[in-house]
Amino acid sequence: MDLISRQAAIDALRGYLVGKRCPDDGTLTCRLIENEVINKLPSAEPKIIRCKDCNFWTKQKDSLQGRCALMGTYPTGNWFCGNAERRTE
């Protein structure tokens, strides 16, 4: 997967349109692509779920650590892993 900056894509689009002699003054084509396509793309940055927000983590009383029911470890609440599931309560 390639990760690119949303702003870099917008700048490339504007540069392309200017190169094709399309004015970059808010033309309908540029704004339509920018607002209706590029800005609506989902972020490629992963959502990090910290242990303290995970469904599998239970905080230990009087400690910064908790028990991870999934991994069987005792991480702090600021730790995270790729198996986390956000707590819904």
Kindly write down the DSSP assignment for every residue of 23-78, as one continuous string.
-TTT-HHHHHHHHHTGGGSPP-S----BGGGBTTEEEPTTSSBEEETTT----BTT
pLDDT given at position 26: 56
Dihedral, 52, 54, 59, 64 alpha carbons, nearest 10: -30
Structural domain spans, the chain: 6-40, 47-81
Which of 2.160.20, 2.20.70, 1.10.8, 2.40.50 would CATH assign to domain 47-81?
2.20.70
pLDDT bracket for residue 14 (50, 70, 90): confident
Q: Say if residue 5's pLDDT is above 70.
A: yes
pLDDT over 90 (residue 56): yes
In whole numbers, what is the pLDDT of the chain averaged over residues?
81
Residue-level pLDDT at 21: 67
> Over 60: is that where the pLDDT of 32 sits?
yes
